Amino acid sequence: MTAVLQDKTVVLGVTGGISAYKAAEVCRLLRKAGARVEVVMTPAACAFITPLTMEALSGNSVATEMFETTAQSHIGHIELASRADIVVVAPATADAIARFAAGMANDLLAAVVLATRAPVLLAPAMNSNMWDNPITQANLARLIDTGRFSTVGPDAGELACGWVGAGRLVAPAEIMAAIESRLAGAPDAARAEGALAGRRTVVTAGPTWEAVDDVRFLGNRSSGKMGFALAHTAAMQGADVTLIAGPVALATPAGVTRRIDVESALEMREALRRVAMQADVVVMAAAVADFRPGVRVLGKLSRRDAHPAAARPARTLPLVANPDLLAELGRARKGRAPLLVGFAAEVGVSGEALVARARQKLTEKGCDVVVANEVGKAGLGLGAEYNAVTMVFADGRVVDLPADRKEAIAMKIWNTITTFYLTPADASASNKSVPASAGLSPISPGKRRARRGRKGNDV
Ligand code: PMT
């Protein structure tokens, strides 16, 4: 944990959901990290966890009513709103999100959220159908578009209502990481002037798991490190970053605006459907499974199923092809935004053959850039700390990035992309507001020729 929370004032909003009890742990961790915590609870939240609990943990009286005649009445929603370095709403129900999006101020928390100029972090938690509902998604998109709101989670899994899907409040530790990264990113002037300032980027990372039954899956050895490094370095250069992560054991990098956790290729496809077409750049670093089991067995597939021990033949697992998510995006964008950056993971292929494979994938999947890496070498690529890549561009240019730590490789990938695609005019425009559909435009052929004249690795 960093010192970023020391002496910061965090307004912790708690709304009425079954996971409200986790707000107690968030409160405890915030205090432990040195923050002053002011808790605001909606009336519904008080049905799930008592203000007394939050009072004991925060060390402050808890505000619940807009017009109280008790001790905290002198604070008022405006004072609370202006004292906050960050407002965190955990859990944030669909109802609360809808009210924030509508600009309502019909309870103390909504009034604080409306009145504050501090960043607001929402940790949504709700039934999966409520989460998937386009109304909820539109409300969230509206809030995020203001530039002040960001989200952490929700997680997918078994929900309190008994359903299985996305909608579970993320773990308190993850909320803490998101708070720290939001606070660390907020005052950073370098980010505002970064080469990707104002650009909306979507990065996919990690493996996908394709369920065989309730306990087994088909997966791969991707750790997510390459994708997370790309997300982190984009955020450091000012981009608004949506990170779509397969099942990995990595904390959300500082500065990342929102993280969507998925498990399977089909879930990743759904997440991409929600965010990819509004982005300026999509980078597909995830190792998406090409196949999934044809049927998912409920419960646990048993070795005794179907056959007596004596006549037990080898099992066969029927597989069906997963959709090619990158190719789908390549078709859907019809040659327009977003700029599409694919990866190519190859085993035992290097040099010109690697470039040829990357070119083939670039054409087949309709990308602008393919980042090729050889993944069978010890210490490089899949699961490793280091990588070495070759970037192949649609116009034929090739850039080699020799072995380095993934964070350094990621930075060079972004530098190459912005050098190649971001004109000086775009760069100054990007510090203003760039429309979501703007994408990154290729530099003019004249400038491109000039750049081609330079050495391959000059990034
Ligand atoms: O996660 P790490 O341990 O850090 O490792 C990083 C990495 C090796 C996984 C990464 O650098 C990488 O190469 N990612 C792409 C892996 C992959 O799936 O490559 P591919 O050649 O099979 O696929 C080509 C492209 O199509 C990729 O952008 C992939 O995301 C995409 N794809 C693949 C299959 C599929 N069904 N849908 C897809 O969108």
The 3-class SS string of 102-156 reads CCCCCCHHHHHHHHCCCCEEEEECCCHHHHHCHHHHHHHHHHHHCCCEEECCCEE
What DSSP string runs through 342-401? EEEEESS--HHHHHHHHHHHHHHHT-SEEEEEE-SSTTBSTTSSEEEEEEEETTS-EEEE
- 1-184 and 195-297+313-437 have identical folds: yes
Q: Is 224 in the pocket of ligand 1 (CB under 6 A)?
A: yes
pTM score above 0.85 = no
99 Cβ below 6 A of ligand 1: no
For residue 206, which atom of ligand 1 is closest to its CA?
A: 1
Sequence-distant contacts of 374-382: CB under 8 A, at least 24 apart: 374/346, 374/347, 374/348, 374/349, 374/350, 375/345, 375/346, 375/347, 376/347, 376/348, 381/345, 382/220, 382/221, 382/222, 382/223, 382/287, 382/345
Q: What number does the ligand 1 atom closest to the CA of 375 have?
A: 8
Q: For the chain, give the mean pLDDT.
A: 85
Q: Is the pLDDT of residue 434 over 70?
A: no
pLDDT above 70 for 439: no
| Res. 191 pLDDT band, cuts 50 70 90 | low
Asked if residues 436 and 278 have their Cβ atoms less than 8 Å apart, the reply is yes
d(CA 235, CA 252): 11
| Cβ of 267 below 6 Å from ligand 1 | no
Q: Is the pLDDT of residue 229 over 80?
A: yes
Lowest mean pLDDT among 8-22, 70-84, 96-110, 151-165: 70-84
Check if 326 has its Cβ closer than 6 Å to any atom of ligand 1.
Answer: yes
Helix (H, G, I), strand (E, B) or coil at 201: strand
Ligand 1 midpoint to CA 88 (Å): 34
| Residue 286, ligand 1, Cβ within 6 A | yes
What are the backbone dihedrals phi and psi of residue 159, each rounded to the nearest 5 degrees, phi first? Answer: -100, 165
The fold of 195-297+313-437 is Rossmann fold (3.40.50)
CATH superfamily of 1-184: Flavin prenyltransferase-like (3.40.50.1950)
pLDDT at 458 > cutoff 70: no
- Mutation choice for ligand 1 from 204, 270, 284, CB with most ligand atoms inside 8 A: 284
Ligand 1 centroid distance, CA of 257 (Å): 23
List the domain boundaries for the chain. 1-184, 195-297+313-437
Cα–Cα dist 224/252, whole Å: 11
- How far, in Å, from the CA of 138 to the mean position of ligand 1? 30
Q: Ligand 1 within 6 A of 413 CB?
A: no
Using CA positions, which residue lies closest to atom 37 of ligand 1?
Answer: 324
77/79 Cα distance (integer angstroms): 6
> 362 CA to middle of ligand 1, Å?
13
Judged by average pLDDT, the poorest of 170-179, 259-268, 339-348 is 170-179
* Stronger pLDDT, 364 or 427, i.e. the higher one: 364
Contacts of 142 (CB under 8 A, 6+ apart): 101
**Mean per-residue pLDDT for 427-435?**
34
Q: Which of 459, 425, 418 is nearest to 440 (CA)?
A: 418
Of ligand 1's listed atoms, the one at least distance from the Cα of 323 is 36
Specify the DSSP class assigned to residue 277: G
For residue 268, pLDDT beyond 90: yes
The set of catalytic residues is: 161
| Probe residue for ligand 1, chosen from 230, 250, 288 as the CB with the greatest number of ligand atoms within 8 Å | 288
Distance 347 CA to ligand 1 centre (A): 12
The answer to which of 145-154, 269-278, 404-413 has the lowest mean pLDDT is: 145-154
